[in-house]
């Protein structure tokens, strides 16, 4: 780990553990532990839960320590977890719940923080695939240069998105307006919303947080989760939060709107290699 930063949820300010609060290696942020129950020859209830760790650090600025304490406390009081960011990539929600100073001198203080890691995993964004508008009308192209009683149907557009992990992963899908009842097919699943997205607006579908949000051109937001298709649920072929399958998946849409899709990479601990 080269850098570790805490982002305050309440104010948006950051606290760096690279000085004048020195967290050194912060080894306790690494490692992981699965939760499970043992059976006769099996395990059940497998999952990753929030966990509490301690981290030692040194302080050379009491002013910075006071500032950090106010930010940690603000998040705890408001019940809004901050975010730990490692190497500007790996992220996890967290609370700083305790501070215990030990050696205190006029120039240097040694302390210990108690950190509650809430997500159970660290995550980062994968490579975003941008898919542009190809047909303004979304239904037909130009008429045939003849008097035949039909027009050319616009072909479905396609692209590809890659999940680099060996297991299914979440994603973020952002669809840009104008669009009415957009539909995107990724692999064998249709992602559909019954919603009108105005020009200059967009809808973000976040499968990690199970949210679908419409943002208007003026910045107003509204929850459109009720407009998202859930079909018969996971694996049913029409589930709005269906995770991305491992490997490369084909992306198809009618070309009448633009969107981008970003795979989310989840790891039980931050990667040791870049």
- The answer to whether the CB of 208 falls within 8 A of the CB of 194 is no
C-alpha span between 214 and 57 (Å, rounded): 42
Sign for the CA dihedral angle at 18, 24, 28, 31 comes to: positive
E strands within 177-272? Answer: 179-180, 183-186, 189-192, 196-197, 202-206, 211-215, 221-223, 247-253, 258-267
pTM: 0.86
pLDDT, residue 19, reads 86
Task: Give Dmax (Cα) for the chain.
Answer: 91
pLDDT along the chain (274 residues), means of 10: 92 94 88 94 95 93 94 98 96 97 88 95 95 65 54 66 96 97 96 96 97 96 96 95 97 94 95 80
pLDDT, residue 144, reads 53
pLDDT, residue 274, reads 64
In order of their start, the domains of the chain are 4-120 (2.40.30.200), 125-267 (2.60.120.860)
- DSSP designation for 169: B
- The answer to whether the CB of 251 falls within 8 A of the CB of 232 is no
pLDDT, residue 141, reads 47
pLDDT, residue 145, reads 58
């Amino acid at each position: 780990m080269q850098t570790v930063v805490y982002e305050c949820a309440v104010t948006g300010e950051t606290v760096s553990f690279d000085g004048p609060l020195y967290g050194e290696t912060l080894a306790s942020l690494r490692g992981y532990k699965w939760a499970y129950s043992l059976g006769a020859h099996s395990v059940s209830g497998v999952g990753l839960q929030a966990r509490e760790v301690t981290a030692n650090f040194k302080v050379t600025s009491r002013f910075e320590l006071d500032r950090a304490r106010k930010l940690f406390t603000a998040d705890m009081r408001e019940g809004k977890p901050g975010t730990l960011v490692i190497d500007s990539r790996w992220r996890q929600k967290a609370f700083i719940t305790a501070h215990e100073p030990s050696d205190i001198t006029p120039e240097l203080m040694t302390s210990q923080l108690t950190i509650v890691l809430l997500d159970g995993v660290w995550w980062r964004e994968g490579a975003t695939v941008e898919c542009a508008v190809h047909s303004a009308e979304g239904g037909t192209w130009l008429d045939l240069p003849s008097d035949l009683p039909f027009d050319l149907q616009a072909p479905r557009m396609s692209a590809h998105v890659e999940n680099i992990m060996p297991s299914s992963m979440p994603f973020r899908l952002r669809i840009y307006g104008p669009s009415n009842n957009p539909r995107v097919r990724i692999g064998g699943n249709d992602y559909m919303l019954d919603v009108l997205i105005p020009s200059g607006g967009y809808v973000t579908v976040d499968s990690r947080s199970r949210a679908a949000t419409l943002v208007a051109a003026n910045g107003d937001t509204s929850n459109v989760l009720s407009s998202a298709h859930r079909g018969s649920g996971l694996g049913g072929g029409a589930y709005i939060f269906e995770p991305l399958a491992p490997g490369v998946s084909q992306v198809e849409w009618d070309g009448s709107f633009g969107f981008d899709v970003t795979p989310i990479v989840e790891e039980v601990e931050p990667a040791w290699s870049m």
